[in-house]
Structure 1
Amino acid sequence: MASSIVDFYNGKSLFITGGTGLMGKVLIEKLLYACPGVDTIYFLVRPKRGKSIDLRTEEMLKMPMFSRLKKEFPERLTKLVPICGDVCTEGLGLSPDDERRLVADVDIVVHSAASLRLDAKLKEAIVMNTEGTYNVLEIAKKMKNLKLMVHMSTAFCHCDLEVMEEKVYPPPHDPMDILHMNRWMESDMMEKIAKDLIKPHPNVYTYSKRISEALVASYFPKMPVCIVRPSIVCPAAEEPLPGWVDNLHGPVGILVGAGKGVIRTMLCHAECNAEVMPVDMAISGLLAIIKSLCVDDKKTDEVPVYNLTQGKTRPVTWGTVLEEGRKCFYKNPFEIMLWYPNGDLHRSKFVHDINVILFHWLPAYFVDFLLLIFGQKTFMLKVQRKVQDGLDVLQYFTTRKWTFRNDQLLKMRSNMSPEDRKIFNIEFEDVPLIPYLTNCILGARHFILKEDPNSIPRSRILLNVLWIFHLLGRFVFYSALLWMFYIWSDSARIVLDTVIETLSNFVPFLRHISAPPLEKVQ
């Protein structure tokens, strides 16, 4: 059977921003691999660290995720055309020739470029996420054959709402007012008003994305626009490679940090749902949504909005993800571990903070102190600061419950043909959790940490050694606490003396342990 989605992209030209990011790369690879009739894929690239756009494109295509494309259909890579520019620059910083080419050729725009830093400065976030969206909209408005401009948002941009429908919500401030203010106000001044300005948002990322949604909606209906809100994007389930990932954002960073023994405690409500989505399914959903809006759906009076989330189809809790993830990295440990990976979740912030001091900061100071003594470069405090900053921001999302309605997404999926559902798989509830988490661990291990798969048996031996040291450490720690309590408490000494005397009949070496007489301690 023919795929109507594949047929739709025949002869189409797309313009993609954020093409060098995780979702952007998977989108480019999927289009070139699954849609042979696509005409041209223009993607915006800026020179970075002295590297030209051609060199950055060449390095990107050397990544393992493009291996199947280069092996089976290498000729299709000629359809990928890098365009020099920057979303933060007026007119995207395009040359006159590039602008004329895009205006004349492009049918579909996918705007996915964004700053994902939750702890970024307010001015930086607005420039990248909101001003960047405005610049893309202004270029898209000129395109003669534009069929759809897709704005990739986030499911958490309205995090003050417990239930989020598939619709545009009124913004807290006028987007153009925010843009004008950001253009003339200094960064330091913006930071002083940031906390009050972004309320009730926990960070500048969700705030700037919310303002961007309202900006996109303001161009409707004069321009064909839509908003797609993916949840937390995680490693690929199947395509282009199982477990493919290129960053440590979100749950992957938590699993790696815990597996390395760096993260020992986390503030989290285990019963809260983890709204996550494999990146390949997010991209398949995006491509299906574009086709549906351009071909199947009739025009409406409202901006089309899709919550690209699992919703109520298969809820998975943070407790399940992290507990099963722990089992997966026990079976596939990392090459370098600072301590035995055995962290815990805590509902109480007070208990969590005590554990942070005991098991994050004190070990970091101790390790750096030893490195300093032996003349080595210290690093643990720096690592711990980054880990703590990440946890402080992330805990907002791991301690709250949200409901994301995805009725329009499910309706579109139900109308897809069997062939479309096979090629553009968005059956996220069918993804088996344990194999998927295993692939996430192996993907992070191989693609990000560059660890040899053949080192897993050796890493398991190291894990067992660390387990022994972990038990010894706990024994020493609790023994010290008990001994302190024993010295200062008469009743505790009497109980402990009785226990030792009883056990000495069965364990000979305990007979040599002599407690100080009660009157001498007093």
Structure 2
Amino acid sequence: MSSEGYSESELDAMPDRIAGTFSGLKLLITGGTGFMGKVLVEKLLRKCPDIDHINLLVRAKKGKNPKQRLEEMFNGELFEKLREMRGGVEPLLAKVSIVSGDVMEPDLAISNDDRQRIIDEVDIIIHAAATIRFDEELKKAVLLNVRGTKLMVELAKKCKKLKLFIHISTAYCHLHEKLLEEKPYPPPADPHQVIQAVEWMDEDTVAALTPKLLNTLPNSYAFTKALGEALAVEAMEHIPVMILRPSIVIPIWQDPLPGWTDNINGPTGLLIGAGKGVIRTMYCKSDSYADFLPVDVFINGIMIAVWNYITYGDKARNVLNFTSSAEIKVTWSEMIDAGREIIMNRVPLNGVVWYPGGSMKHSRLYHNICALFFHWIPAILIDILLFCLGYKPVLMRVQRRISKGFDVFEYYTNNQWDFKSDHAQTVRQRLNPKERRDYKVDAVGLDISNYFEDCIRAARVYILKEYDDTLPAARRHMKVMWWVDLITRCLFWGLLIYWAYGWMSSLWSFATDSSETLSVTAAI
């Protein structure tokens, strides 16, 4: 027996109402070449063979035109399973069209022909394009996350066949709310006024005003995502809109490639940095937890939300929080400990700078002292050695990036938020057993240790390009670094004891000499 007491054949015989919902529909997706967008496009093409067409709004990037970027995406490892199912890349390209444009540009930089085609044909718009850099310059963040949303809403209002406009927000955009409910919240500023202001101001002026505009918010990401969400809320009066708020989106859990990601943002970067031995201290409440959501779980949630809205006309549940902490909580300490055990004993990384170690600090002062001795000083010494040997210094640059990341990271690791997900939980109950298997949105069967191992293995191969044939050498190097770390610790503590012994001996000699001098003086 397999899922919920049913055999695989019994499950396969059940209807897939979610795939059926997309049958014959034409979609427009922004952000389709990003991390989340790639997984969405792959799932739609794999599970919904009768979908009519997918239009992807894509810009030129790094010397590659939109068509080249799409072909490169389809030839990637994420789409390998789909290519095998469909017989190569060509059938995928037949289902997907490029709309050349840029969400950050005025009028989206879309041609008149493409714009008219969208207005006449598109049934569903999924707006996922955004800058997710927490330290992005405010002007760029506003133009992309806020004005871009406004332009997409205006385009959606003109679409003649529009059934649903989905705005991808974030569960971390209303940070003043320690308990985020599934409802709209007032924005931190008027999004229209903010757009008008940054359009005529230059970058230096906007940068100077940024602290005042952000007020108590920690970064431009939270500020602009809250403004973008407010525009989607405004549009609810005119078009069918749904706002989806995922928490921290992390690598794939199950489908189609466990552990896959195309970046080292968030926990993945943290695990890699700690595994390479370059992160040895963090200012963090180790017993606090963040809310993580595997990207495939969220993509399943998007498809379920579309099905629920279109099939049931469920307009009351138009703001959904996609979060995991109601079912499973993983503290920062548990995550780091699990990652460290995996990297040290099962999946070591190549070129480890030092044996993984260190700890989380509850005191900022203690963390800063440790960062000086275990991050900055070793980085300076190793870079000097590399320079002397004729190599390019790298560790100081790495540590500057780590320090910059910590500036953002610390706000989230030293604060705690909780999320209500009653709407999402209710929608989940409408799924049949087959749909619960194929569009998994619960934590049943999740093994944290195995999941983190999949993440590290995938990052090792797809991000770091460290393939499995290098594992034996990596294990040998890890053992060498264990001995280096042990010897260094022994030398350090030995020298410290030796220095302390010498200091105590000098103090004892001084005290003894002083006592003898006083005795002689008294005798005289």
Q: Provide TM-score, normalisation by structure 2.
A: 0.92
- 1:492, distance to aligned residue in structure 2 (A): 8.6
Q: Residues 329-340 of structure 1 correspond to what in structure 2 (within 5 A)?
A: 329-330=343-344, 331-340=346-355
* CA separation of 1:181 and 1:487: change in aligned 2, threshold 3 A: same
How do 1:146-161 residues align onto structure 2 when only pairs under 5 Å count?
A: 146-161=162-177
Give 2:487's aligned amino acid.
L
In 2, Cα distance between equivalents of 1:158 and 1:200: 11
Deviations 1:332-370 (A, max 9, x none): 001111111112111111111111111110011101111
Post-superposition CA distance 1:165-216 (Å, at most 9, x none): 0111011211101111111112111111211211221111011001111111
Deviation at 1:229, TM superposition (A): 0.6
2:186 is aligned to 170
Aligned residue identity for 1:66: F
Are the structure 2 counterparts of residues 477 and 518 from structure 1 closer, same or farther at C-alpha, using a change threshold of 3 Å? farther
Matched, 1:328 2:342: yes
Instruction: Judge conservation of contact 1:40–1:80 (CA < 8 Å) in 2.
Output: yes
Instruction: Give the aligned partner of residue 505 of structure 1.
Output: none
1:151 is paired with a residue of what secondary structure? strand
- Residues 426-505 of structure 1: matches in 2 within 5 Å? 426-490=441-505
* 8 A Cα contact 1:490 1:518, kept in partner: no
1:17, 1:112 within 8 Å by CA — same for their partners in 2? yes
Of 204, 212, 232, the residue aligned with 1:196 is 212
* Aligned residue number for residue 519 of structure 2: none
For 1:29, the equivalent position in structure 2 comes to 42
Aligned to 2:68: 55
The aligned counterpart of 2:115 is 99
Question: Are the structure 2 counterparts of residues 381 and 219 from structure 1 closer, same or farther at C-alpha, using a change threshold of 3 Å?
Answer: same
CA positional deviation for 1:491: 8.9
**1:66 aligns to 2:79 (yes or no):** yes
Aligned to 2:328: 314
Partner AA of 2:288 in structure 1: C
Q: Cα gap change, 1:490/1:67 in structure 2, threshold over 3 Å: closer, same or farther?
A: same
Q: Deviations over 1:407-462 (max 9, x none)?
A: 10111111111121111111235311111000000010011111111211221111
User: Separation in 2 of the partners of 1:150 and 1:405?
Assistant: 20
Using a 3 Å threshold, how does the CA distance of structure 1 residues 97 and 85 change in structure 2: closer, same or farther?
same
Is residue 258–residue 458 contact of structure 2 (8 Å, CA) maintained in 1?
Answer: yes
The answer on 1:275 being equivalent to 2:291 is: yes
> What is the Cα deviation at residue 264 of structure 1?
0.8
CA distance in 2, matches of 1:377, 1:517: 53
Q: How far 1:473 moved relative to its partner?
A: 1.4
Inter-CA distance 220–470: structure 2 relative to 1 (3 Å threshold)? same
In structure 1, how many angstroms separate the alpha carbons of the residues matched to 2:314 and 2:399? 52
- Secondary structure of the residue that 1:15 maps to in structure 2? strand
> In structure 1, what is the Cα distance between the partners aligned to 2:282 and 2:350?
23
Q: How far does the alpha carbon of each residue in 1:55-76 deviate from its partner, in whole angstroms, 9 at most, with x for none?
A: 1111111110100111011334
- Return the letter of the residue paired with 1:399: N
Q: Which secondary structure does the structure 2 equivalent of 1:69 belong to?
A: helix
Cα distance in 2 for partners of 1:273, 1:429 equals 19
Question: Cα RMSD over matched residues?
Answer: 1.9
Pick from 301, 304, 328 the counterpart of residue 318 of structure 2.
304
Cα distance between partner residues in 1 of 2:342 and 2:312: 42
8 A contact 1:231–1:308 mirrored in 2: yes
3-state SS of 1:82 partner: strand
**Map 1:394-405 → 2, pairs under 5 A:** 394-405=409-420
Give the alignment of 1:363-442 within 5 angstroms: 363-442=378-457
Amino acid at match of 1:254: L
Q: Deviations over 1:492-511 (max 9, x none)?
A: 989xxxxxxxxxxxxxxxxx
Deviation at 1:53, TM superposition (A): 1.1
Deviations 1:84-103 (A, max 9, x none): 10001122111111111111
Return the offset for 1:517.
Answer: 13
Amino acid at match of 1:36: P
**TM-aligned CA deviation for residue 298 of structure 1:** 3.5
1:378 deviation in Å? 1.3
Contact kept, 8 Å, 1:277 with 1:428, in 2: the verdict is no
| Partner Cα separation in structure 2 for residue 492 and residue 373 of structure 1 | 42
Structure 1 residue 373 displacement after superposition: 2.0
Give yes or no for contact 1:282–1:308 (8 Å, CA) kept in 2.
yes
The range that moved more, 339-348 or 20-29, is 339-348
String of CA shifts for 1:125-177, please: whole Å, max 9, x gaps. Answer: 11111111111111111111111111111110011211000111011211101
Is the alpha carbon distance of 1:480 and 1:104 closer, same or farther for their aligned partners in structure 2, counting shifts above 3 Å?
same
Comparing 443-452 with 312-321, greater Cα deviation is found at 312-321
**2:6 maps to what in 1?**
none
User: 2-side partners of 1:493 and 1:260: how far apart?
Assistant: 45
Q: Does residue 82 in structure 1 map to residue 98 in structure 2?
A: yes
Q: Name the CA distance, whole Å, in 2 between partners of 1:324 and 1:65.
A: 26
1:299 match: secondary structure: coil
Structure 2 unaligned regions, length at least 5: 1-13, 517-524
Instruction: Check whether the contact 1:486–1:492 (CA below 8 A) recurs between aligned residues.
Output: no
- Give, in whole Å, the separation in 2 of the partners of 1:299 and 1:466: 58
> Structure 2 CA distance, aligned partners of 1:493 and 1:457?
54
Q: Is the 8 A contact 1:32 1:77 kept in 2?
A: no
Residue in 1 aligned with 2:364? Answer: 349
- What residue is the counterpart of 1:502 in the other structure? none
**Structure 2 match to 1:251:** 267
Secondary structure in structure 1 of the residue aligned to 2:416: coil
Residues 1:117 and 2:133 aligned together: yes
Shift of 1:518: 8.3
Out of 21, 30, 33, which is 1:8 matched to?
A: 21
Q: C-alpha separation between the residues in 1 aligned to 2:135 and 2:506?
A: 51
Measured in 1, the distance between the counterparts of 2:162 and 2:422 equals 27
Aligned residues: 498
For 1:390 and 1:184, how far apart are their aligned partners in 2?
A: 30
Q: Distance in 1 between matches of 2:314 and 2:511?
A: 89
Residue 233 of structure 2 is aligned to residue 220 of structure 1:
no
Is the 8 Å Cα contact of residues 251 and 260 (structure 2) preserved in structure 1? yes
Task: Tell me the distance in 2 between the aligned counterparts of 1:364 and 1:216.
Answer: 46
Letter in 2 for 1:92: L
Secondary structure in 1 matching 2:498: helix
Deviations 1:373-424 (A, max 9, x none): 2232211111110111112211111111111111101111111111211111
